[in-house]
Structure 1
Amino acid sequence: MHLIVLLTIFALAWGLRYSWTEANQNTWSQRWDRTLAIFLLPPLLLFTSAIAIIWMGPHGRMVWVGNDWVSYDLAIGFLGFAGFYLLKLARSGRNMLQQVRTYPTTELSGKTVRILDLPTFYTAQIGFWKPELVITTCSIDTLATEHLEAVLAHEQAHYHYRDTWCFFWLGWIRQITTWLPQTEAMWQELLLLRELRADRWASVQTDPLLVAEALLLVVHNTSVFTENLCTAFSQVAPVDRLNQRIEALLEISDDLDRQLQAIAEGRPRVNERIDTLPGYNLRSWAWSIVALLPLLAVPFHT
């Protein structure tokens, strides 16, 4: 019976991932919530199913059907596989953070940053809950002051939303569910929405056109660290992702111009058309209750 439950959850997880489509016509908030839910719900269902099966054990009966060792071994194997990758990523992240903390520090715009001596543009938050802000000497020497401030504002947004911490866990989920359909496409969508949110934050702190100009200046940058543990301003990305970021920034700029014109003419401010991305709030995680459903099978085991 446990094997039947496990196969049912596997089919459900596969179907959920397969049903996802990139819905560009939706708002940023809707795209974020939908993608995050479908990205996380299948592995969470598999986790709770494995935990429930191990909890009940290989002996006894469930409803009217007996149990066996096959599902029990599969559950242990899946959790062991996931735990192995978690430890591997955590160790890699710790080693990377120790390396970053050997770099010299300086003050930029009131922020302490680590200086990386490289002849390329690179600025990123690297680490876990409290990441280190890293910037290359090329970025400091080449970028104009206003562009550098726009880049730093973008990275401050990643710190505010704890993106390095959250995407460490999302990156772990990505690693252990590569066999599910559309994992990579959904990962790229989450990365894009993360950057759109940081761009939006930076455009409020500085100017959307400055952020767009800075992005174009550093677009040919080469990634230095793994994207699971860092949030670089301009990581290597498909052209369409860059285009979406630039278009969103131009749209924000146009919206601000309309607002200023309305104020100057004494007219009521028009409603903003630009969507803001939500943070990681409890309301957007209401769907996670569904992941607990496999635990309801425990009382039916004897």
Structure 2
Amino acid sequence: MHLHLILLAVGLACIARLLLFRPSQSLRWPYMLGLFLFPPLLLLVTAITILNMGQGQMLGLPVGQIGQICAAALLTGAVILLLWRAGQNWQALRQVRQYPVLRLERLDTAVTAHVLPETAMPFAAQLGFWQSQLVITQGLLSQLSAAQVEAVLAHEQAHVYYRDSFWFFWLGWLRQLTAWMPNTECLWQELLLLRELRADRWASERVDALLLAESLLQMAQAPLRNLDRSFDSSMAVGVSSARIEERIEALLGNLELSQPVDVAHLPWWLLLSFLPLLTTLAHH
């Protein structure tokens, strides 16, 4: 019976990932985030429930050890993957701290950044967990004007404000955990875009939106070369040119900028991922 529960959870998780459509802009954040979270949560809750139930009977049928072994393997793999990601993040932070520190003035706020001196391409990213650290390249300072650099720093401050490096560390873990599921990469790229749209919206309230769009376009045109692979490029401003037009159109006012999302606005059906907990009532 435990093995049947796991197979049922896997089937439902894959089916949920196939229910992908483009919602309205107001529902885009909660829908995409909920669809991304539901499958891994369902699998993890199912595995935890099975291990918690242990040996016995369910609905009058004996439960075997195969289901428990599969559940234990899933949770063990998830923990190992989490530790590996944490180690990669820590290694990147350790390397970044070896680079010189530069104090930059943004409006009335001083921003401290680690500068990669031998990198000519314009690049900016937040690295770390809850208290992230700003990393920029010498190319950002040399190729962009002072006003453009200030716009980029405002965008990066938005990532600090929303704690994006922390939350996307966990989302990135779930992404790798469910990389074998349909539409995982599509949803991940959508979440990255929504995150950048949210940061653009926050920054555009503090600096000129046109200036931010110009800075974004200039950085997006520079390919990532000779950048250390330990850096999480998903937290960079100008890494991917995919869907860059949507961000620029949003900044120019042709599209509605993405609204922030919080726990209260997550879809109610995300609670269905905890339904496996009810199976303990049928276990003896």
Question: TM-score over 0.5 for the alignment?
Answer: yes
Separation in 2, partners of 1:174, 1:30: 21
What is the deviation of 1:80?
A: 1.0
- Cα deviation code 1:255-299 (max 9, x no counterpart): xxxxxxxxxxxxxxxxxx834421433442644422221111112
**Secondary structure in 1 aligned to 2:34?**
helix
- Give 2:62's aligned residue: 66
The residue matched to 2:103 in structure 1 has which SS?
Answer: strand
Q: Does the 8 Å CA contact 1:168/1:229 hold for their aligned counterparts?
A: no
Query: 3-state SS of the aligned residue for 1:164?
Result: helix
Report the counterpart of residue 24 of structure 2 in structure 1.
Answer: 26
**Any idea what the Cα deviations from partners look like across 1:203-239, whole Å, max 9, x if unmatched?**
111011001100111112334356757521111242x
Per-residue CA shift, 1:69-92, capped at 9, x if unaligned? Answer: 111111011111111111111001
User: For 1:155-203, what per-residue CA distance to the aligned partner results, in whole angstroms no more than 9, with x for missing partners?
Assistant: 0001111111111111111111011100000000001111111111111
d(CA) in 2 for partners of 1:102, 1:131: 16
Tell me which stretches of 4 or more aligned residues in structure 1 moved more than 4 Å: 225-230
Q: Which runs of 5+ in 2 are unaligned?
A: none
Q: TM-score, normalised by structure 1?
A: 0.86
Q: Note the aligned Cα RMSD (angstroms).
A: 1.8
Aligned to 1:266: none
Aligned letter for 1:154? H
Please state how far the C-alpha of 1:143 moved relative to its aligned partner. 1.0
Q: Deviations over 1:34-81 (max 9, x none)?
A: 011011111101101001111111x21001211001111110111111
Aligned residue identity for 1:86:
L
Q: Tell whether the 8 Å contact from 1:164 to 1:231 is kept in structure 2 after alignment.
A: yes
AA aligned to 2:140 is S
- Asked whether the 8 Å contact 2:30–2:266 carries over to 1, the reply is yes
In structure 2, the partner of 1:191 is 192
Same amino acid, percent of matched pairs: 42
Calculate the TM-score normalised by the size of structure 2.
0.92
Aligned with residue 289 of structure 1, among 245, 266, 271 = 271
Q: Cα distance 1:200–1:226, how it changes in 2: closer, same or farther (>3 A)?
A: farther
Between the aligned partners of 1:286 and 1:229, the Cα distance in structure 2 is: 32
CA contact (8 A) 2:141 2:149 kept: yes
Change in CA separation of 1:229 and 1:122 when aligned onto 2, cut-off 3 Å? closer
Which protein has the larger Cα radius of gyration, Structure 1 or Structure 2?
A: 1
Q: Deviations over 1:102-149 (max 9, x none)?
A: 111121111111111111111111111111111111211221111111
* CA deviation after TM superposition for structure 1 residue 251, in Å: 1.3
SS at 2:181's partner residue? coil
Contact 1:164 1:230 in 2 (8 A): no
